[in-house]
């Protein structure tokens, strides 16, 4: 996009925002929305100065998409007149698509051993990197605590988000037919469990945005033992059984970001889903197990919910945390 095109896009967005703000000028929330919409226009303008596909542009998207998402949610909950973010999201997804296509063509700058692993990393970029910004993501990580008990060699984790205590392993066919590999996989699952790190194995059959969003949020939910908070039996949930506030906050952050990506990155996720589907089709004959059956889980599932359900019920996680805090205060007094 050249300078004239950038200026034209910004003018169109500012004019559209001006018309919308005029329509809500009598609402109490009008001053707040005015500030946020002006901030949004400035962030869009700043993004348009970045090179398409650059890592910096993807990191810049996090604060921009969080701002858009906050406005979308407030407009919905406050029952304000609708505002179409199509122009803003077209720019956001254009930048994401440039990034995705470049990384896909090079198997993530040749850091991934297969297109399947590259697809998983790209999904996680959409779910986490583009919604969180400066996140600590490491590929082919070798944490010193993860040592093979037989050889003493440090084992590798394909993708590790240390800040979120969340790790991923991409499993090809050999993970299901090679006994030595299966033994290592089981060791990793148990060793990371002891360290309170969620390890999520993913295989070829699960390379799809909806499947992955569902897998990730439910794997963490079951690992933390908070399934009942999302059911009608939440009143029977024992507050004393809650994991730490840090782990619960991480869960809420991840669930929010997964939902955000589903709502805002529709075009980008559709493109990656299409490419992943082509990859799966090409892999089925050579990889009959990993192309047709889901990878094993670190924690047995207690019943999966879709990301929309989890997001809507996150308030109960917050309520449970606050109830535990009140319980601590009452005991101390």
pLDDT at 241: 72
pLDDT at 281: 97
pLDDT at 242: 83
**How far is the C-alpha of 81 from the C-alpha of 79, rounded, in Å?**
7
Per-position pLDDT tens, the chain of length 333: 666 787 899 999 999 999 999 999 999 999 999 999 999 999 999 999 888 877 778 878 999 999 999 999 999 998 899 999 999 999 999 999 999 999 999 999 999 999 999 999 999 999 999 998 778 899 999 999 999 988 999 999 999 999 999 999 999 999 999 999 999 999 999 999 999 999 999 999 999 999 999 999 999 999 999 999 999 887 766 666 788 889 999 999 999 999 999 999 999 999 999 999 999 999 999 999 999 999 999 999 899 999 999 999 999 999 888 877 654 434 443
Helix axes 245-264, 314-332, angle to 10 degrees: 160
Counting Cα atoms < 13 Å in the Cβ hemisphere of 289 gives 11
- Report the DSSP beta bridge partners of residue 201: 169
* Number of neighbouring beta carbons within 10 Å of residue 216: 24
Question: Of 254, 249, 253, nearest to 324 (Cα)?
Answer: 249
DSSP string spanning 251-272?
A: HHHHHHHHHHHHHH-HHHHHHH
pLDDT at 236: 66
The two structure tokens encoding residue 259: 């939902």
**How far is the C-alpha of 121 from the C-alpha of 168, rounded, in Å?**
9
């Amino acid at each position: 996009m050249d300078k004239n095109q950038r200026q034209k896009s910004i003018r169109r967005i500012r004019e559209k925002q001006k018309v919308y703000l005029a329509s809500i000028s009598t609402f109490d929330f009008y001053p707040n929305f005015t500030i946020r919409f002006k901030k949004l226009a400035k962030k869009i303008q700043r993004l348009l100065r970045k090179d398409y596909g650059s890592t910096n542009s993807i990191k810049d998207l996090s604060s921009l998409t969080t701002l858009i998402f906050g406005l979308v949610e407030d407009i919905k909950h406050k029952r304000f007149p609708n505002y179409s973010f199509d122009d803003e999201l077209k720019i956001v997804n254009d930048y994401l698509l440039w990034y995705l296509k470049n990384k896909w063509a090079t198997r993530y700058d040749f850091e991934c051993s297969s297109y399947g692993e590259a697809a998983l990393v790209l999904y996680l970029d959409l779910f986490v990197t583009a919604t969180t910004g400066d996140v600590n993501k490491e590929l082919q990580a070798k944490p010193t605590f993860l040592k093979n008990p037989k050889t003493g060699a440090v084992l590798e984790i394909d993708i590790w988000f240390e800040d979120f205590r969340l790790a991923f392993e991409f499993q090809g066919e050999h993970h299901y037919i090679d006994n030595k590999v299966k033994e290592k996989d089981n060791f990793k699952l148990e060793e990371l469990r002891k360290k309170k790190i969620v390890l999520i194995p993913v295989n070829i059959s699960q390379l799809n945005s909806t499947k992955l969003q569902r897998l990730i949020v439910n794997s963490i939910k079951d690992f933390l033992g908070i399934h009942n908070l999302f059911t009608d039996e939440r009143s029977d949930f024992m507050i004393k059984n809650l994991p730490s506030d840090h782990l619960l906050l991480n869960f809420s952050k991840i669930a929010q970001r997964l939902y955000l990506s589903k709502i805002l990155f529709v075009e980008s996720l559709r493109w990656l889903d299409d490419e992943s589907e082509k990859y799966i089709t090409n892999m089925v004959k050579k990889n009959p197990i990993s192309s047709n059956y889901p990878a094993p889980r670190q924690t047995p599932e207690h019943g999966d919910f879709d990301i929309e359900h989890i997001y809507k019920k996150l308030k109960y996680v917050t309520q449970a945390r606050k109830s535990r805090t009140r319980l601590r205060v009452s005991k101390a007094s």
